[in-house]
Structure 1
Amino acid sequence: MFQLNEIELQNLSSSGLQDVLGRIGVTVTPDSGPALPLLRGANEKTAGTDHLGDYTETKVTYSNEADTAVVHLQFRCYESFVLTSVQGEMINASDFGKQHCFAAQNGIIIHAQGMTNIDGLMANYQHKDWWTRPHFDPKWSTLPERTQSLLWRKESAFYHLLPVCGPVFRTDVCGTEEGLQIRVSSHQGGRTRCESLSFVLGAGTDPYQLVERHVEAALHTLDYPTLPRSRKPYPEILDSLGWCSWDAFYHQVNEEGLLVKAEEMQAASLPVQWVMIDDGWSQTVDKKLSSFEADVEKFPQGLAETVRQLKEKYGIRWVGVWHTIAGYWGGIHPDSPLAKQFSDYLYSNAKGSLIPYPDAGRGFGFWHAWHSFLERQGIDFVKVDSQSAVLNFTKHEWSIGEAAAAAHEALEASAALHFNNTIINCMGMAAENMWHRPKSSVSRNSDDFVPQDQFGFAEHALQNAYNSYYHGAFYYGDWDMYWTKNHDDIQNAVLRSVSGGPIYFSDAPGNTDASKLWPLIYNNGKIIRCEQTPNPTADCLLLDPTKETVPLKLWNIAKSSGVVAAFHIGKYTDSVKGTVGPSDVPGLEGDAFVLYEHFSGEMKIMHQGEQHAFELQPGQCAIYLIIPSGGAVTPIGLTNKYVATDAVSDVKSEGSTRSLQLKEGGTFRFVSENNRVSAQLNGKALPVLLISEHLYEVDVPMLDEKLNIVLSVSE
């Protein structure tokens, strides 16, 4: 159990965790005047039990000499983690005199000093208002501001610190020469009191369990309506292949272009099931929304007619539209009919920007009106952009926790009513957004895919891979659209094959290569989606593959088999070498495994603890399946797909016979160390081709009936 010994946070010596945060000090930043260093005073210790288990609790008081600033740090220590809460007050002599308040930003700073050297680190920090990216330098002094997740390793133990954005206050972390600063901010002036769960800190040998445990513990303690990803349903619409207008048309999207692209996809027999009409469709003035209707020049017959043709003429099942969390980038135009009609539901900030009111009930009125209109036009879901602009619109006027919670609750209440809560959240990786979306389950996991950037894939892959470590505990990641004809097209496709989230492309008319899509989907348009959100494998979790001579490796699960995708994203021309094996996928059960690589068709039988060496050239990628051995016969799956194992279900064994179902026809491969094998489809024999030693292939036809395969081995 984590324990406090004086002012050092420690674990029992038997578990080998000591001096996690070193010496703890507290500083208060008032809204005027110099910072106030506080002195440590008394502490109180108690014990108890709650929904998270048994705990010991230590409350340490800090105050300045004049007793005008008091902060209580409350450490509630469970078996393997500690919840740290902050209670602070600026004490004023009267209510009518000059008031001393906490500064809107960094009002309370917890200093963790004297932290020891570590063996590796991976932090996720908010490098732009909208996005986070990883940081790897193990020197504490280099840790960036606005760090939202901090993982480090010392010897054999991993430590994870998760800052929390509570109902009012947001906590961030940054580095200093001596350790860490843990900063608590409301982003609102005039506050004299602070009470907030500030951060979760824990340790263990499995870094992937740490972050999920910490998110669950914090959300339970906050008693939020927000759910962790594990308790959120994945949207039905986003389980199918989609196309987005953004990189095809940018702001020039119009009805004609959309219908031309839809006709092209239909002619190519591509089973695109949904279309997203991105930015550019709305009526705006000066980058502010002026009407619920579509732009009349771009959509002369109205949005409803475009949607009708997409669905009825071209077989698109679902159509979505884009808007921002403020309506449009600059909000709602103050001179528009919308501003007058919905004035009760809109808020004008000090600058004069007009946005949906940062009160859930009032803000809902605006979204309900717009979404109701969109639903009547045939719209089925929405992409909501610019979400981290909530702080920029409300800074100093509302606390960040209250503003973000209200914005997301209002939005999601309407989306649930009109679109079955099918939202693609976007530009919203700030902590206040991540912690305050009640039930929407899909959120963009990185900065934009930029098709024109010749070297953009490395950063795009890096952000998605390492952001997924902590963001994936909250949401299924949207790894953005991509182009099927591009210098990085194969790498982008493989990256999305392991994302566990939506798969959609954004080619302009005439630029779609259908062959680059089929390995990701089935004939009915369903995407082949892994079962979890992916993570970097343990051997690269604390390394930067753009700077180190190591491949980026991502692991996931598909039908009880491991999936490992490997990429060369280094900023150099030499090849990189790595290894892959069963230990790359935590929890993978079995002693013997089949290792299969998609592009080379290479197969290897291996055992737990073994590793297979590989080498990647610049721009090259690989995708490995690690399948628990099935004895006499081990099915791999449809190897014309990247994640072949997804196609296999209802596997049963009886002696030397194995039966299974396939989702559709295609190139089916399996492994047997016996050279006398046979295959049947629905009771009829199929030719079996030997591909390499122990690797067999069957060409399964496409049939409009269940595909029951029986594989037999003759003694």
Structure 2
Amino acid sequence: MTRNKTYLLTLILSGAAWVCPGLTGQTSFVYEKGKMFTDVTAFQMEHSIGLGTQQTPVYYEKNIPGKQQTVSYRIEIPAYKQGIFFSRDSRPGDYQWPNNTNRLLPWVFNRLDDLTQEAYPGIPSNGAPSVLGDALLLELADGGFLFAKVVAGENSISWFQVNKDGSLTAYLSTLGTDNLASQAPVLLAEKGKTVYDAIHKAYTALIGNREVSALQKRTDKDYFEAFNYLGWCSWEHYHFDIDETKMLNDLDGIEASGLPIRYVLIDDGHLANKNRQLTSFVPDKERFPNGWKNIISRKKEDKIKWMGLWYNFCGYWMGISPENDFPEKIKETLYTYNGSMLPGKSKENIGIFYQYYIGTLKDYGFDFLKIDNQSFLLPLYMGNTEVIRQAKACNLALEEQTHNQQVGLMNCMAQNILNIDHTQYSNLARVSIDYKKYDEDMAKSHLFQSYTNTLLQGQTVWPDHDMFHSSDTVCGSLMARSKAISSGPVYLSDSPVDFVKENILPLIDEEGRIFRPEAPAIPTPESVITNPLKDGKAYRVFAPTGDEAVSLICYNLNTSPSHHQVETTISPADYSLRETMSGRAAPQAERILLYDWEKQTAEVLTADKQIALEGFTDCLFHLCPIRNGWAVVGIQEKFLSPATVEVIFSSPKQLKLNVLCPGNLRVWAEGNSQQELRTIPVSHPGEITINKQ
């Protein structure tokens, strides 16, 4: 099939209610590893739902038949050219939907039934696409775009299922033994002239509807101060094998490195547990015999200022042990179900538990928490009653308690809709599967997933692209640039003796503050609906940087040797993408300067510029507008050069800047029929005035 062929899915309605075969008993939603929820028993509603034709963005069902645990709908899909289905990967015997962990992946298709075929090319380093998913993005036959996603109501949740014939079903369920209310939200859909417009409109509608979300725009929420600075995390270096001595030695190593690392995150390996269930908020006494006091005492205002701690949303990986040492008042907020203790069943009990949870960790002296395994909490409740209500209340309690107690929050393994759609106060979430050192295919998949998911998650949070190793000989430098343009936190995971400063210093100023773009990096229009690991093309992403520039990275992420070299172009029109994530009017610039960061060369971009990419590589460019005969590039030693300067004043004869760090300042100057790229040494931050003559 050709890529640009248009497909129209026509669904014939029977005109009468239809019940799925075998609807003699309800599906058991008790969650087990390896259990699939494909083709669950459901009452099929008489009417279908037409995507993009409903009167309001959120489609509400107002006549759910009585005594139904689960209902389903045929979905009418408009004519489309291609699309993306967002779901986790499906690996036999492993956890399945709705435990999406960090594995919400963009599965690109020409026809929906491509996803059900054994020959589907997939995404290397991942399993096959799960046919149960949370969102759908379509490029329509008329040139527009449609974005649709499932939603959670008071005690209901929906999901999409891709069928083998290319049709789409939406399910609505309590995921338990109780019945649906007579009315409930089913899905949200919006159309737009551009892919960015469709997604932005959908999330604007989602944020504005408190029945299906508890959200704010990313730009309306505070960003925890520590995440503006360079950090370090124990996970990829040690995994579970941590103890007090190792952590103290690494704190010594970090200080001895001379790098301005300002926070440390102690990851998994410290929790007291039995059979992977939490027994105490006191850390493992064999590994941390002195608790946290010796580690917390190492905080210093001008060095490692903040300490963070990894914790598990569920208690530990399999929940909370009945053999715990919690105070009696806290034990009374828990009940036993399916082998674990859970907070509930009332909202009040859930709030009391998470107040204790967050307060206990704060009292140790931790400034922020990385709360992991969030998408597994819903499965722990599944098969019981009030499943959605309780799981959602846990998400909201986590948000409320970290906000009220002023504890920073990194959300991780938080990619089902109860997590994504309820980040009421927190402003940071992982957008991808873990990064792994020396794994080229996984690195490529990580980049693809991170940037594409940011189109969605980046509407409400800053994206976390995970930690990285500066010493990674496969892609350490490339990964450093991706962290720079991501807009998210930058935290290392090397052993301190292995730090490669050449991949670290271009990210930060002298105090460890990260030079961040004004909005998260996302794919350029032609790179949105594509699989860059398989399609033989270049992959491009962009972000607005500094006062007026656009930074753009071109990648070759292809895994086939036949696409070892690919070509792409950079156009003056790329500059108009600057305000894509803000929704503001596109900036106008008559002329654009193209700055090649690696080559440190500049040229006026008057036509498309051809770029060749050989092997697993990237090329970083800055598009800077020429105004009054000036174009400000910034400090050349920093990846995001335009983010290192602020334009105070510009006239045809003079330019006044606030330079944020030392280095070589690059400025383009035009006058008297001459053009030059000036290099101006800057010894310390501050204001500088530059004259044409």
Q: TM-score, normalised by structure 1?
A: 0.82
Equivalent position SS for 1:119: strand
Could you give the per-residue CA deviations for residues 359-389 of structure 1, whole angstroms, max 9, x where no partner exists? 4321222222232222222111101000011
User: Which of 102, 106, 113 is residue 141 of structure 1 equivalent to?
Assistant: 113
Which letter maps to 1:296? K
Partner in structure 1 of residue 125 of structure 2: none
Partners of 2:10 and 2:462 lie apart in 1 by 32
Shift in Å, 1:28: 5.1
Partners of 1:521 and 1:436 lie apart in 2 by 32
Shift in Å, 1:619: 1.8
**Bigger fraction of residues in strand:** 1
Partner in structure 2 of residue 422 of structure 1: 408
User: Which of 353, 361, 370 is residue 374 of structure 1 equivalent to?
Assistant: 361
1:83 matches 2:45: no
Q: Is the 8 A contact 2:395 2:418 kept in 1?
A: no
Q: 1:618 to 1:359 in 2, by over 3 A?
A: farther
1:227 matches 2:216: yes
Most deviating of 421-430 and 152-161: 152-161
User: Which of 226, 231, 234 is residue 237 of structure 1 equivalent to?
Assistant: 226
User: Which of 153, 162, 165 is residue 152 of structure 2 equivalent to?
Assistant: 165
Aligned counterparts, 1:588-599, within 5 A:
588-599=587-598
User: Which of 205, 212, 227 is residue 217 of structure 1 equivalent to?
Assistant: 205
Q: Is the 8 A contact 2:260 2:511 kept in 1?
A: yes
Partners of 2:167 and 2:342 lie apart in 1 by 40
Could you give the per-residue CA deviations for residues 659-712 of structure 1, whole angstroms, max 9, x where no partner exists? 1110111121011234899xxxxxxxxxxxxxxx7222112113xxx5211121
Q: Is the 8 A contact 1:110 1:183 kept in 2?
A: no
Equivalent position SS for 2:656: strand
Could you give the per-residue CA deviations for residues 434-461 of structure 1, whole angstroms, max 9, x where no partner exists? 1123221111101111225343211111
Shift in Å, 1:78: 9.1
Shift in Å, 1:605: 0.8
Q: 1:583 to 1:163 in 2, by over 3 A?
A: farther
Partner in structure 1 of residue 628 of structure 2: 631
Partner in structure 2 of residue 302 of structure 1: 291
Which letter maps to 1:430? N
Equivalent position SS for 2:658: strand
Which letter maps to 1:237? A
Q: 1:108 to 1:638 in 2, by over 3 A?
A: same
Partners of 1:516 and 1:655 lie apart in 2 by 37
Partners of 1:20 and 1:226 lie apart in 2 by 33
Q: 1:174 to 1:76 in 2, by over 3 A?
A: closer
Partners of 1:87 and 1:429 lie apart in 2 by 28
Shift in Å, 1:222: 3.4
Equivalent position SS for 1:212: helix
Partners of 1:18 and 1:599 lie apart in 2 by 43
Partner in structure 2 of residue 9 of structure 1: none
Which letter maps to 2:297? R
Aligned counterparts, 1:512-523, within 5 A:
512-523=499-510
Percent of residue pairs bearing the same amino acid type: 21
Q: 1:242 to 1:331 in 2, by over 3 A?
A: same
Equivalent position SS for 2:109: coil
Q: 1:459 to 1:24 in 2, by over 3 A?
A: farther
1:602 matches 2:601: yes
Shift in Å, 1:178: 5.0
Q: Is the 8 A contact 1:594 1:603 kept in 2?
A: yes
Partner in structure 1 of residue 188 of structure 2: 200
Q: 1:80 to 1:428 in 2, by over 3 A?
A: same
1:393 matches 2:372: no
Shift in Å, 1:209: 2.1
Partner in structure 2 of residue 619 of structure 1: 616
Q: Which of structures 1 and 2 has the bigger CA Rg?
A: 1
Partner in structure 2 of residue 707 of structure 1: 686
Equivalent position SS for 2:172: strand
Partner in structure 1 of residue 252 of structure 2: 263
Q: 1:577 to 1:254 in 2, by over 3 A?
A: same
Q: Is the 8 A contact 2:7 2:111 kept in 1?
A: no
Partners of 2:56 and 2:644 lie apart in 1 by 40
Q: 1:391 to 1:225 in 2, by over 3 A?
A: closer
RMSD: 2.8
Most deviating of 567-576 and 637-646: 567-576
Q: Is the 8 A contact 1:595 1:627 kept in 2?
A: yes
Q: Is the 8 A contact 2:539 2:556 kept in 1?
A: yes
Q: Is the 8 A contact 1:27 1:108 kept in 2?
A: no
Q: Is the 8 A contact 2:399 2:426 kept in 1?
A: yes
Q: Is the 8 A contact 1:404 1:436 kept in 2?
A: no
Q: Is the 8 A contact 1:277 1:321 kept in 2?
A: yes
User: Which of 680, 685, 689 is residue 698 of structure 1 equivalent to?
Assistant: 680
User: Which of 226, 233, 248 is residue 237 of structure 2 equivalent to?
Assistant: 248
Which letter maps to 1:145? V
Partners of 1:79 and 1:530 lie apart in 2 by 37
Relative contact order (C-alpha < 8 Å, sep 6+): which is higher? 2
Partner in structure 2 of residue 65 of structure 1: none
Shift in Å, 1:330: 1.7
Q: Is the 8 A contact 1:540 1:550 kept in 2?
A: no
Which letter maps to 2:252? E
Partners of 1:465 and 1:629 lie apart in 2 by 29
